[in-house]
Structure 1
């Protein structure tokens, strides 16, 4: 059976300590002692257990989601330093969470003190857990109340004479004593760059990748920028010099030194809102890659997924209710092959394929870290040779061996990834590069096409529109996929007859030897049918 560790600490003030390392070391020691494989370590850094943030959006929520989907097997161990790390909610809510985990088949192990909770636990075990979690909740509530009183005093002074509120402010600000004023530090350059990239149209993922590639230091011990940090900065009004008190009072203008002006900040918020219109939030393990993109070419209604015996299909929503007679079902696996080809036709493959430039930069950095670690390791080897009686030197050599091995694996992985990335891929090669079973990949690709303004109308073929222009026609014939690029003027969208006529032309070319210039590849799963002919007439636009 496999084990998973969960570690957590609550506040930014604890970030400089070794809390996560200590908790994970305890978990590793337990696994070694009990001969259990430690499959993965989950951690929430600076995430509240008192307010349940870790259960709502943190690593704990991801663990539970993976248990529910079956990715993490029943009977697996969840290792905690103590029940405080799991949650500091009220005893009623906390005990419910513990019981829910056990009902999902998880064996919960606490290491300090060592306790076990599973389907064999009795009432006494549950009572011990409730008492422990109740004490933890009451302690957190007491600290929270004291903290609220202290912060209320600080905010009152800040409103009265702009007195400083202490060091717990945004990372690009530094409190300078004794004058008690805040000044921007070197991190302000990263903040400015984040807003600059946002206004260029980049999303949080692309911005974090750019920051990592350009070498901007993170604000904490983390080695890489992530999307959460980027979004947090973009939405933090301290960037325009504003203090937003946590007591619910009016913001204090001009309290900090601004990094960007108000116009830039407002423009960034508009960009974030604009991108969210295409964001898909469904968390299903089988994410519909066509969601809100595909429409019936006959009646114009949206198409949805249905199950028919062995296969799944895209079907017209109106047809399900007898209101669209001309529509036909389309095999979902066929449509997903067309989807991949559509990404390539719209020059959007880069969004889901590895970026060669980024990989090259990561490889260079990894090689540098490996060389540095090898030099350090060589020093400890010489120390052992000179002083074999010192046990600490032997331990450092063993630790160094492990680090060098891990870094070599990282260099090898990046080297292979770099060698495998290309913008010129066949459909078969594209399938091997893009993991269509990965939920995040499917969600990203779908959201990206939304932002491009893509719509697809299915009749005899797949008519691809981008905003108000017809871009391409895909058609399937005898398990072969063809594509014809369209260069219509804005607003000139083919009606149903015209679209079917174009699709028929693509199929005629596909029937020729080699498939002509329209051939793009063969279906993953042959079905011998392709899209069907429809007879009704209606404007597709």
Structure 2
């Protein structure tokens, strides 16, 4: 059986596709295969994928090849052709060498076309000198990438400092609704008006209660041109809403050794032209976060007003929406999800969905929830000034350890690192406090919520029919008013949403019972009604002369 050679082609940057890299690597692989008389498979390509942190090993074409080797679907004696070992990996030698040897021990012969070396299990068993050559190449590749990454990081640090100090344009890469133009005064960033209108529309839809799928559907159906793809995608809409660039901030990012994207340094405010204000950004993202707990998409059916808010009063599990078909024999109900999965919960009642919604809306509209006094935010935990003071103390203590660290005192090194981590934690707490402050400032007042709720209810009554848009807006307002709705065996209770206080904790909340049909409660209500009736009968039997007379309007004591 004729052996197969698998040509692996990789380069880091997509723009290299326009150069000679692809043609050169392909030609070298084809020449080698023709000379050796083997079948060539040149489908293994990772174009624009870095090998410095192993991205090609975990998610690229190379990852698929390695999985096939491990499963035995690539025959032993097959060849893996690479221009150089740095095409396979630029990770640290201690990480890449064991995997390199494991590949060879699996029966694969690794061929480097640049120097003609062949690394096979048989050869390395008889002669280890090629192994030393591979170690040198791997070390050089990793050092080159690490040095390049360090230089790029330093360059970006300087650019961020320049942007913060002068607001000068430091890169031509800008968000899709902006562009860089050059004139006699230099480079500047300007808006693209038609795209900015789309951005503002996306934020308005998010605030009105629409999720990323609904927004995408509307934009695609109206044939609104997408920025960087043929069609609008939910993931891109979500990124736009969460992107602080819309309010003008520049935030640099980097990928860590684990491949995760993390922010670098503080954001630079005012770098980009702001296309929405801070209040709009906060409201859109608060609405998006609340929707993330609302139980997913509901398709083109009637928009559920209480989606994600309803829980079992007995066990605390979510109440599941159960559709038993059209009326009169069917209907839509809310049932305890744990109970339906066979878990231990005594709540076996199926609540009629429309009845629950009607009772909840009535409680909001009648002002029953307004009777619950909203507690004022109370400062709990450290303030921003407290945290800044702690950072100053930790920084001073860390500075005092420098002499011992320079003397290679291991205990001092450990304490130095610990204080550095503590400073990072404190800075993160400050960022969270500032974010909470911005969010609290963006929240509408109770009166504003009530007014918006009343306006939407009036619009629904006026149309006299189900409106998807109005019900979506109504659901968004309800999520801003109600924290949770509990359904028990006989009762419905609602808890009003309370403000978040300093330190990330919410003010204490109280619930209001809006329905109860338990026998004990019904009997209690009946006894109460009978007592009221008896009191009225007694009062009506009192002779007229004993009834107190009201004082004349102009009488004086």
Alignment TM-score > 0.5, same fold: no
Band the TM-score falls in, shorter-chain normalisation:
0.3 to 0.5
Structure having the higher Rg: 2
